[in-house]
Every structure is written in C-alpha cells, then in structure tokens.
Structure 1
C-alpha cells in the first residue's frame, strides 16, 4: 500500500536534490561552448549522485563535472560530452567503446581494476542518514544489525552491507541487516522519507548534500569510519593516450590550485600517496 504523502515527498526530493534520472534513455550533454577544431571526449556518468554529478535544468553539474571541465580546459584540444546513463551500463559501455572515460564518482576496487584502469582523484567514506524524527541513532557498522537499510543498486555499498550483516551481526548472534536496493541515491532518500527503510547507507558527501537540501527532514548520525576508499576516473585498459591525457590534465589543475578549491568547496579530500598505496590495490 502506498503512503498518502508519497507523491508529495517524491516531488520534494526531486526538486531539492536537483537531480534527474533518465528512464532507459541515455542523454548526451556537451559542456563546453567553443567546439571549433576540438575533438569530443565521451564521458559516461550516472548523473543521479549529487554533489558529484547530477542534472540541473538538463545541464550536467557537480564536483566531477567541474573537475572534468578544468582538465579539458588545461589541454584545450578536446571537449567533454557527458552521456548520462545508469550505473550498470558504465563499465560495459567503456569496454564497448561507447564512452572514452568514466567520470561517475566510481570507487576504486580490486574487481574494477581487473576490468578497467582508474586514476584516483578523491578520498571518501560512508555515512548513515536517518529521518529527522527517527529514534534510531546509528554511529557505526554494529548499529545496523536488525534494521532495514537502503542503498544504491549495483554499487559496492550493497556488498559492504552484506559483509557487515554476516560478520558483525549474524556471526555474533544479532539480527541480520535487511538490505533494500534502489536505482539511485535520490530514490533511496525518497524511500527513507517514505518510511520504506530505516537508514540510508551512502557516500559521506552525498549524505551531507542531502542534509543541506532537506534540512531537518533528515540527519547524519554516523561518527565511525566504515570503508575509507578512493574514487577514480575510469579509462579503458590499453588506452594509454586517454589515460595520459586525463592524468596530465589532473596534475595541471592540482598545480594551479583549481582542483583543491573544487574539492574543498564540497568537503572532499585529496588522497595522499599513502592513501593511494594503501587503498588502491
């Protein structure tokens, strides 16, 4: 049975989080104006994940969009053409040459590195979001036992939750975590507000953005570290030309200070050499 206010909540979340989800149709968005004599770099992204990447009035916005624009500007020979698609299409699309680059706040994992090459560009962790009026106050992984937790389908989040449930809950005689997966982060937040889940498990910057836009309707309660991890830009294996183009551009905007300004504006961190050695395996 649908809740009486579900439709209103859906509209509220969609407008406040400034995001859009295409339903089965990929959309292309060129983000530079001076297109003369420039080649096109097709950038695959699931643009439903503010503040990293999202659509506002049909235009790509967010941390990743800003960084990619600066990288392209530092080179000057190409323009990024953003192609909005759903998460499950990203790696297959890159391998199938539909995209030249994946720029979608994609976490670097051992499994992904076996399929594509990745250039690290930020460090993040998990945060827990609950409704503003919730009596739950989960601080860390152990507090998720026996709750219904919503997360984004096809991501590392669902795998992490299953691991927490098995090792920290069931193995210790506690109730398992009931994991419910949704197509996008905004849909998960909508389900939280509609009481379909107790807690949202998601990227820390994304959860901070939800609080910023939804105010007292939600709150972040977590204080413990979960899975500190690096986000990376994906490049097809063997495509050394594109890899070097992106890596060189990233290094240029680091040197200019533009990269640090973008990360700082969104509360994100640049990974250290130790972070990369430890987390990019």
Structure 2
C-alpha cells in the first residue's frame, strides 16, 4: 500500500471513529451525562418536613427518601450526595447550580413553574388548618378571623393562608390578626402547642401523621383552604437538565403505576392519596 493511500485510510478511519463517538460525547455534555460520567449526583433536601423527609439517627428518611431510592435504581453506579438545607435556600441554590436537583416536598405553583421544571407529582399538597384539640373556638376557616396563625416562610401553605386572609377581609371580617412565619414547621407546631399560635396552615398530607405522633394535642379542620395542589421535585428549566428531569419523572410515574407509591404512602402517612400521573397546571 503506497503512503498516500495509507494516509487517506487513516483519515477515513479517524473520521468514522469520531462520528461514532459523537452521540455519546454529546450525551455526556448534559447534566445526566455528567452525573453518569462522574458517578455522583448532588441532591438538595429540607429534612425537617416529616413524614416526607426528616433525620433519624443521623440519616435522612421518609416518604421522599424511599421514593428517591426507588427512582435511583436506574442509576445503580451513581453515588448520592444529599445536602440538608433550609427550605428557603433550596430553589435559589438550584438556580445557582449548587446541586443537580431538589428532592423534597415542593408545592407546584405558578410562580415556581414559570422559572423551574417540576417532575410529575409525588403527593397531594392541598393546605389544611391545624389547631389545638382543646380549642373549640375554631370550627372552620371563617373562625380564623382575629386569630394568630403560622406557616413556613416561602411555602405555598403561607401563600394559601395569605389568600384566606384577603378573602376574610373582603367578606367584611377583620381578617387574620397576625400571620407568623417560621423557618420550619416544627417551630410553628411547638408555638401552637403552647398557645403562642391559634392555628397552623400546613398540607393535609403532613397533618395526619402529626396527629398520630401527638395524640390529643392537635386537631385538623375538616375543610381545606385554597385550591387542590400537589408536591413534586424540582430541576432547572433548561436543556441541560431535561434528561435528568425525565429520568426522575419516569421513575416516579413507574412507582405510581406499579403500586410502589401507594405502599410508601401507607408506610409513611398511614393512608393513601390519589396522585395524578401527569402534572396538572397549577391554580395557585
């Protein structure tokens, strides 16, 4: 073989090899590709939101933790680096690319959905009202006129509470006397128990397990406040995160369809809830 022909064959062989590698190289350029290549994913959580996630013996446990473990079976060789952060820092940190995805109970609302990408729903997030069981003065949302009510800073439950306050005033009432904001719901529960609050606005899904853990202390109003809403996990709304978001959504959808989600709900909430297979457009 003459030198010129040998040189031409070398060029063609190299071009074919580069062309064959191009799809995998392009895939490795997105977030999921880098996660697989680096064999590590960084996940942010607020582990003070039982029974969705909380710390037990130094380990983050709960409904979301078990569901996440199920989803991540599709990435068996990837190590999970999980950060426990205040809720108020989760979405700003995701925006700043300090971690890859947020796996915690985040209520889907219009403002968040405009800026971030959500997985399919993981649970019902509709807001309920927690009171002291000994307080018979609050029988429905209208009885929150003139009361001191708490919720978590930055939460959709706080948003629902503020909307209720506006509605009470528009109906001619004095509205809620004071809305107190907390870094975490545990602090609001403690203040309610000792009488520094009259009520707490929190998702109904969280309140059932709380009643069982503190028998005789709290009660839940039969009526919810605000529209139907759902919890989901959150990724950045860009092409780089699209494949990772799909992997998580597909895993959640599979858990919903094969009965795993219902089993985890029974385990952590003591009951099941209807969770749609796709994410409805937020109404709040």
- Work out which of the residue numbers 251, 255, 273 in structure 2 matches 1:249: 251
SS in 1 for 2:200: strand
Farther-moved stretch of structure 1 (92-101 vs 223-232): 223-232
Partner Cα separation in structure 1 for residue 185 and residue 62 of structure 2 = 15
Query: Unaligned stretches of 5+ in structure 1?
Result: 1-36
Give the equivalent residue in structure 2 for 1:174. Answer: 173
SS in 1 for 2:51: coil
Alignment pair present for 1:184 and 2:184: yes
Farther-moved stretch of structure 1 (215-224 vs 203-212): 215-224
Output the aligned Cα RMSD.
Answer: 2.1
Alignment pair present for 1:213 and 2:217: no
Give the equivalent residue in structure 2 for 1:277. Answer: 280
Could you tell me the TM-score, scaled by structure 2's length? 0.78
Partner Cα separation in structure 1 for residue 172 and residue 254 of structure 2 = 52
Describe the shift of the 1:276–1:206 C-alpha distance in structure 2 as closer, same or farther (beyond 3 A).
same
Structure 1 residue 278: deviation in Å?
4.9
Query: Unaligned stretches of 5+ in structure 2?
Result: 1-36
Does the 8 Å CA contact 1:130/1:136 hold for their aligned counterparts?
Answer: no
Give the equivalent residue in structure 1 for 2:261. Answer: 259
Farther-moved stretch of structure 1 (141-150 vs 258-267): 258-267
Structure 1 residue 280: deviation in Å?
7.0
Structure 1 residue 108: deviation in Å?
0.5
Give the equivalent residue in structure 2 for 1:143. Answer: 143
Does the 8 Å CA contact 1:123/1:268 hold for their aligned counterparts?
Answer: no
Could you tell me the TM-score, scaled by structure 1's length? 0.79
Describe the shift of the 1:52–1:171 C-alpha distance in structure 2 as closer, same or farther (beyond 3 A).
same
Partner Cα separation in structure 1 for residue 179 and residue 111 of structure 2 = 22
- Measured against aligned partners, the alpha-carbon deviations of 1:228-267 in whole angstroms (never above 9, x if no partner) come to 1011110111111211221222233334322221124323
Does the 8 Å CA contact 2:118/2:234 hold for their aligned counterparts?
Answer: yes
Give the equivalent residue in structure 2 for 1:106. Answer: 106
Larger Rg over CA atoms:
2
Does the 8 Å CA contact 1:69/1:80 hold for their aligned counterparts?
Answer: no
Farther-moved stretch of structure 1 (114-123 vs 46-55): 114-123
Question: Greater share of helix residues, 1 or 2?
Answer: 2
Describe the shift of the 1:277–1:129 C-alpha distance in structure 2 as closer, same or farther (beyond 3 A).
closer
SS in 2 for 1:181: strand
SS in 2 for 1:216: coil
Partner Cα separation in structure 2 for residue 224 and residue 89 of structure 1 = 27
Structure 1 residue 38: deviation in Å?
7.8
Describe the shift of the 1:89–1:228 C-alpha distance in structure 2 as closer, same or farther (beyond 3 A).
same
How many residue pairs get aligned? The number is: 242
Q: Which consecutive aligned stretches of 4+ in structure 1 deviate over 4 angstroms post-superposition?
A: none
Structure 1 residue 224: deviation in Å?
4.3
